[in-house]
Amino acid sequence: MTSLQLSAKEEMVEKLLDAAARGDLTQVSSLLSHVPSLINQKGDSGWTALICDKFSVNSSSQTAYDISKFWATRPSPTSRRRGWRVKGYVEDGESRLCRFSIEAVEDLLQKPHTVLIFLGVEKRKGPSSPPEATREPPAWFAINTDEDAAELLKRSREKNCCFTKMAHRDLLKFSEEEAGVVAQARSVLAWHSRYSFCPTCGSSTNMEDGGYNLKGVHNTCYPRVDPVVIMLVIHPDGNQCLLGRKKMFPARLFSCLAGFVEPGESMEEAVRREVEEESGVKVGPVSYVSCQPWPMPSSLMIGCLAVAISTDIKVDESEIEEARWFPRQQVLSLLKGSRPDLIIPPRQTIAHQLIRHWIGMNSNL
């Protein structure tokens, strides 16, 4: 047995906690009849199983009824935060956008291959004093230039600027506000690079409306957004979820299944088709949870929960490498990072938040 595998005792504890969380008294009684001491074993959260009867007692001679009656008179020690979006990071660990004054890049704007797009006007964060109330708020733009990267960095007043090395992962280091700026700028600039010529007549396109229209002779193009469904599939018993991994994923990483919405498809149809194509599992009800822009280059991730109506897994190896059902207790340990053999996406991703959303809906531990 390797150090990454659960011991027999740990596996029994996980089974007991999972059964107790589901209210499965039959399985709880069966497990305790074989190993009565399990009732005192704690999970990762520090809780023992709360069994809803008045007979089984823990090492303090308390039944679950005694414990629940005690805590029913106490305010909850924690509050649950709603929503999946992250509001901030520790200051020292947060990446920030590098900003340039108009004077620093004015000469670049005269070059024929530089693309300038309008991002928006900065919002005022609170009531302004009289002098500031009459001042125009700053407007922000993004540029795409063929200027040498090292030379471009010298133009910044900030001396610690650098370009991201891994766009997918480095985007997760920004605050929500700045990640939104990156998503907007990168998506629109990537669209410009693909639509230099009109797809209808072949003529060069002309930019209008701050970079959000590209016009040919007889046609107008608008920024492209590619809808992608990403779904957490729930087992028919309600206490397991389906996670998979692609060959390109980092080692040990499992995540929600995902795929592009095809023309003429509804969101629900796309969820059912993608899950069956990738895992062989059939899906019934589908419900929308939340969404997240992902500018690689211009996707919109539409997050859903889906309920499976079959459980047999048969992966399409051209799509994914592996898929499996994960019990709730195991998912809880993944959220806490206490399983060295498995990991899930970081909290800034919609996949992580879908998993956390499901745990919040179902778990009573």
For the stretch 59-77, pLDDT in tens is 555 555 555 444 443 333 3
Residues ≥6 apart with Cβ < 8 Å to 283: 231, 233, 271, 272, 275, 276, 306, 307, 308, 309
Looking at the structure, tell me whether residues 322 and 353 fall in a common domain: yes
Q: What is the mean pLDDT of residues 158-174?
A: 72
Residues for the chain: how many in total?
365
Looking at the structure, tell me whether residues 215 and 231 fall in a common domain: no
The answer to whether the beta carbons of residues 278 and 315 sit under 8 Å apart is: yes
Domain extent at residue 159: 95-221
Q: What's the whole-number average pLDDT of the chain?
A: 79
Q: Which residues pair with 206 in a beta bridge?
A: 215
Predicted confidence at residue 17, as pLDDT, reads 76
Looking at the structure, tell me whether residues 184 and 105 fall in a common domain: yes
Distance CA 234, CA 286 (A): 10
Distance CA 64, CA 54 (A): 7
The answer to whether the beta carbons of residues 93 and 109 sit under 8 Å apart is: no
Choose the final residue of a domain: 189, 221, 253. 221
Looking at the structure, tell me whether residues 191 and 99 fall in a common domain: yes
189-222: burial string, b at 16+ Cβ within 10 Å, e else = bbbbeebeebeeeeeebeeeeebeebbbeeeebe
Quote the pTM value: 0.67
Q: Which residues pair with 302 in a beta bridge?
A: 229, 291
Looking at the structure, tell me whether residues 214 and 230 fall in a common domain: no
Instruction: Give the tokens for residue 271.
Output: 């969820």
Q: Which is nearest to 50 in space by CA: 61, 36, 34, 66? A: 66
User: pLDDT-based confidence at 80, cuts 50/70/90?
Assistant: very low
Q: How many domains does the chain have?
A: 3
Residue 146 lies in a domain: yes
Instruction: Give the tokens for residue 11.
Output: 């596996």
Name which of 89-103, 261-275, 351-365 the model is least confident about. Answer: 89-103
218: left (phi over 0), alpha (psi -120 to 50) or beta: alpha
Q: What is the mean pLDDT of residues 300-323?
A: 94
Q: What is the mean pLDDT of residues 184-198?
A: 88
Q: What sections of 265-345 are H helices per DSSP? A: 267-279, 328-335
Whether residue 280 is predicted with pLDDT greater than 90 in this model: the reply is yes
How far does the chain reach from its first CA to its final CA, in angstroms? Answer: 29
Looking at the structure, tell me whether residues 211 and 311 fall in a common domain: no
Predicted confidence at residue 56, as pLDDT, reads 60
Instruction: Give the tokens for residue 297.
Output: 């280059």
Looking at the structure, tell me whether residues 232 and 357 fall in a common domain: yes
Looking at the structure, tell me whether residues 232 and 291 fall in a common domain: yes
| Alpha carbons within 13 A on the beta-carbon side of 74 | 8
Instruction: Give the tokens for residue 27.
Output: 């399985």
- CATH code for the domain in which residue 339 is found: 3.90.79.10
SS3 (DSSP) at 110:
helix
Other Cβ atoms closer than 10 A to 5: 10
Predicted confidence at residue 64, as pLDDT, reads 56
Whether residue 87 is predicted with pLDDT greater than 60 in this model: the reply is no
Distance CA 173, CA 60 (A): 46
The beta-strand segments (E) located in the chain are: 115-121, 139-144, 206-208, 213-215, 220-221, 226-234, 240-245, 257-260, 283-294, 299-308, 322-327
The answer to whether the beta carbons of residues 320 and 248 sit under 8 Å apart is: no
Whether residue 172 is predicted with pLDDT greater than 80 in this model: the reply is no
Looking at the structure, tell me whether residues 170 and 231 fall in a common domain: no
Whether residue 15 is predicted with pLDDT greater than 60 in this model: the reply is yes
- Our CA angle for 15, 18, 21, nearest 5°, is 150
Phi, psi of 4 (to 5 degrees): -85, -15
Distance CA 122, CA 128 (A): 13
